[in-house]
Amino acid sequence: MSIDGRIRANSSSADGIVRVPDSFWRSLQQLNAFRFFLAIFFIASVVFPDALQVLGLRHHFALFLLALMYLAATFAFGVLLRGRQPEFNFQLVVQLALDILVITVFIHFGSDNIIGLGLLLTIPMAAAGLHPQTRITLSLAAVATIAVLGDQALMSLAQDGVSNSETAGGFAHAGMLAIGFFTVAGISHLLAKGALASARVADEKEREAIELEQVNVRVIQDMPYGVIVIGPGGQVVSYNQHADLLLRGQRRFRDNIEECDTGLKLFWRDWLEGRGSDMSMLSVGEPPRRMRLRLSGLADARAAGAVLFVEDMSELEQEAMHMKLASLGRLTASLAHEIRNPLSAINHASQLLHEDAARDPATSKLTRIIEDNVVRLNTLVEDVLLLSRRDRQKQETIDLSVYLRDFVTEFCQTENMAHTMVEVDVASDLVIDFDPMHLHQILWNLMRNARRYCSRKPGSIILTAAANTDMVNVELYNDGPAIPEEVRQRLFEPFYSTDRTGTGLGLYISLELAEANGAQLRCSEQTQGARFRLSARLHR
C-alpha cells in the first residue's frame, strides 16, 4: 500500500474532536441489554402475577402496555447505539430518563416494597456518571431521588391508619436509596472523568503522531529518489510515488521485491544473505534506465527487512551532460568563426605543400595527416553546432514508404556502397510528423554505423518500418557483432566512441534530435548484430 493511501486512511480520525471512548458506548449497550431483560421481567410479572408472586400488581393492562412500550424502546435504542447516532450524551440522557420513569411507575403501581424495585435504579445511576458534565449527572440522580421520595409521599397520603413510625421508616428507606443514587452516580462520574481525560490524552497523542507521520510522508514524497520499505520475506510494506514512477515497468514490485527485474531480485537476495554490497548500479525497466540502488537495514538482522532507495542515474547523468554540452555549444558557437578561419588556412597551406612535394612520399604523408585532422576538427565543430540547433525544428508530414527508399538510394550513392547491402521493408501508408532534416541526420548517423560494423554482404543491413498503435517503429539492423551490455549502456553518451576516428557525438546527436521531435531512439539487446529503433508519432 502506498504511503499516501495509508495516511489518508489514518488521518480521518484527526479532526481535533475528542471522541467518546468506545468503552462508554459499550457500557451503554450493556445498559440496554439490562433494560431488555428488565422489560421481559416486567411483562412476565404482569402476565403471571400469581405464579411469580414477585410484585403485587394493580392496573394490570396499563402496566402491560407500559412494559411492551419499554421493550420496544429497548430495540429502538439498540438500533441507535449500533449507528452511534445521535451523539452519546443525548442518547444517555433520554435512555436514563425513560428508565427512571418506567421503574418509578412500576414502583408506585406494581409493588408495596419500594426498596426492592428502587434498587433497580442504581444501575441507570451508575450509567449517569458517564455524562461528561457533573451537573447533568447530579440532575439525573436528583430526578431519581425526587421520584422515589414523591412515590413514598403519595403512598403515605393514600394509606389511612398507618402509624407515624411506619411512615418515617418508609421515608428513611427512600432517603437511603437517594443517598445510594448520588453515591453511585458520583463514583461512576469520577471514574468516567478519568477515562475521558485518558481519551483526551490518547487523542492528542494520536493527532500528534498522525501529523508527524504526514510530515514524514510529505518529506519522503518530495525526495528526488524512490523509497521502498521491504518487510521480512521481501514483501513491500510501503513506497512513495517516485518509486512507483521509476519502477513503472515493474508493477509487481508492489507485492514482493523478488517478483521484479532479475537484477533487482539478485541484488536483494545477495544483500539478504550478506554476500553483496549495500549499493549497486542496475538497468531496470523497459526502456532500460540506469538506477543506483541502496539498501539500509531496518534492524541489526537483515531478515527483519530494509529500506530500498532508488535513484535514477540516467536523469542525473543526462542533466550533467546537457549542462556540459550547453556550455560547450555556447563556447563553440562563439569561437566557430575563429576556429574555422585557422582551419581553412591550415588546410589551404597543406594543399599547397602537397602540390610542391608531390614527388616526396614522406612530405605527402605528412600533408595528408594534416588534411585528415583538419577534416576531423571541422566535423567536430559542425556536430557541436548542430546540437545548438536541435530545437529549431519544422515538422512536416513524411511518407516513410517513399522517404526511406529515397534515403537509402542517396546514402548508397554518397558513400559508394552497393545497393544490395541494404534491404528495405516498409509498410505502405506510414506517415509521421517529423522534421525532414532531423530525420535525415538521425538515419544517416545510424546507417554509417551499420555500414562500419556489418559484414558487407548482400542484405547485411535491414531497414524496416511498421505501425504500432499510435506509433511507427523504424528499425535498422546490421549483422555485425553484438553490442556488449556495458557498451550498450553508454552508446548515447556524448564523446563516447569505440572508434578512434569517431567524435562520439553521432548517436548522441541522433538521440537529441529524436527527442526534439517527440520520438524515442533505443538500442535493443541482440545476441547477434545490432538493432536500433526509432519510435515516432503516427500522423493523424
Helix or strand holding residue 425 (H, E): strand 422-426
Record the cell numbers describing residue 359, joined without a space.
Answer: 614527388
Residue 52 has pLDDT above 70, yes or no: no
- At 309 the three-state DSSP class reads strand
Which of the four pLDDT bands, split at 50, 70 and 90, describes residue 9?
A: very low
Q: Report DSSP letters for 10-64, one per residue.
A: HGGG-SSPPPPPHHHHHHHHHHHHHHHHHHHHHHHHHHSHHHH------SHHHHH
- % residues pLDDT > 90 (the chain): 15
Nearest to 511 by CA among 436, 442, 433: 442
Confidence bin at 248 (pLDDT 50/70/90): low
> What pLDDT score was predicted for residue 284?
67
Q: Compute the distance between CA of residue 445 and CA of residue 169 in angstroms, rounded to an integer.
A: 116
What whole-number distance in Å separates Cα of residue 417 and Cα of residue 460? 12
Average pLDDT over residues 46-74: 77
Q: pLDDT at residue 474 above 90?
A: yes
Condensed to tens digits (0 to 9), the pLDDT of residues 177-228 reads: 888 888 888 898 888 888 888 878 888 888 888 888 788 777 777 777 788 8
Residue found by looking up cell 569517431 in the block: 502
Is 0.75 topped by the overall pTM?
no
Question: What is the predicted pLDDT for the residue at 41?
Answer: 86
d(CA 156, CA 167): 6
| Share above pLDDT 70 across residues of the chain, in percent, rounded to a whole number | 80
| Residue keyed to cell 486512511 | 9
The pLDDT of residue 377 is 74
Residue with cell 414477585: 54
Task: Render the burial of 7-18: b for 16+ CB within 10 Å, e for the rest.
Answer: beeeeeebeeee
Average pLDDT over residues 100-117: 73
- For residue 477, what are the β-bridge partners? 462, 531
pLDDT digits (tens, 9 = 90+) for 409-461: 999 998 888 889 999 999 888 899 998 888 988 999 899 889 988 998 999 99
Please give the backbone phi and psi of residue 301, each rounded to the nearest 5 degrees, phi first: -85, 125
C-alpha cell of 508?
Answer: 548522441
Cα 267 → chain centroid = 24
Contact between 168 and 190 under an 8 Å Cβ cutoff? The reply is: no
The pLDDT of residue 463: 93
* pLDDT at 12 (0 to 100): 43
How confident is the model over 90-94, as a mean pLDDT?
Answer: 91
The string of pLDDT tens digits covering residues 256-309 is 777 776 777 788 888 888 877 788 877 766 556 677 888 888 887 888 888 888
With cell 477515562, the residue in question is 195
Mean pLDDT of the chain: 79
Q: Which residues does residue 475 pair with via DSSP β-bridges, in sequence order?
A: 464, 533
**Those residues with Cβ within 8 angstroms of residue 323's Cβ, 6 or more apart along the chain or in another chain:** none
Closest by Cα among 373, 224, 237, 223 to 306 = 237
* Residue 540 exposed, middle or buried by CB count within 10 Å (0-12, 13-18, 19+): exposed
For 356-413, write each residue's pLDDT tens digit.
766 677 777 777 778 777 776 777 677 666 655 555 667 889 999 899 999 999 999 9
CA gap 126, 110 in Å, rounded: 24
DSSP letters, 122-145, are HHHHHHHTTSS-HHHHHHHHHHHH
For the stretch 250-270, pLDDT in tens is 555 567 777 776 777 788 888
Q: With bands split at pLDDT 50, 70 and 90, how would you rate the model's confidence at 55? A: low
Q: Of 35-44, 152-161, 341-350, 491-500, which has the strongest mean pLDDT?
A: 35-44
